[in-house]
Structure 1
Amino acid sequence: MTVISIPGATRMRLTVRGRRIVAALAALPAAVALSLAVFGGGSALASRDTGAPSGSFATLTVTPGDSLWSIAEQVAPGADPRDVVDAIVRLNALDGVTLSAGQQLSIPAEYTPSP
């Protein structure tokens, strides 16, 4: 009678290369998600546009000698002129504080009198 011996179950061992492959495969979904977020996130970039809905501001024509400070004091005498100037600059997307006579400025609704 012959005895056939079945070798015992062996443990699977990962080599250094195998561990790297397993780690890379595990990290692949995260890398894909991060890539999509970076390349697809362009639509969420900040812009200088405030997106104010139509009718939420009044317009004012700049006259000779007007400055943002004088306009701020004129349209909102009870408010801090620095806050009003900042709001006007943001709403009109102004690059600086220089105004030209005849220029149209939008004044935020919070600083215009109620009808």
Structure 2
Amino acid sequence: MSTAQLGIARPDTRAAARPVRRPTDGTLRLTRRGRVVILVSALLIAFGGFVAFGPSVIATDESGPKPATITVHPGETLWEIAGRVNPDGDVRSTVDDIAELNGVSDAGELQMGTELAVPRY
């Protein structure tokens, strides 16, 4: 009796697998995942240092210089008051500051004898 050979070959599974590359000279090689881990770690350390040693704000009860108060004289306008309070500054912004500080929406609301709070410049 003789045996017959069929033409079916076994697939070589070792050839399909990717060979593992190992460094031959003793150097360390990082994978893409390793590089990402190192980058993220460095960024977290830098962010932590910024948070720990960065500028900080401390809340206090002090709100800065308190505004001065003036009394409105007869015929005096908000524009004149602003020019007197802040002679070297921009009169328009000073008028806005005084109006905001006192809740004045219309300059016609000013009446003689009214006490106005004015910012210190």
Normalising by structure 2, what TM-score? 0.44
Per the normalisation by structure 1, the TM-score is 0.45
Looking at secondary structure, tell me which structure has more helix per residue: 1
Q: Which has the larger radius of gyration?
A: 2
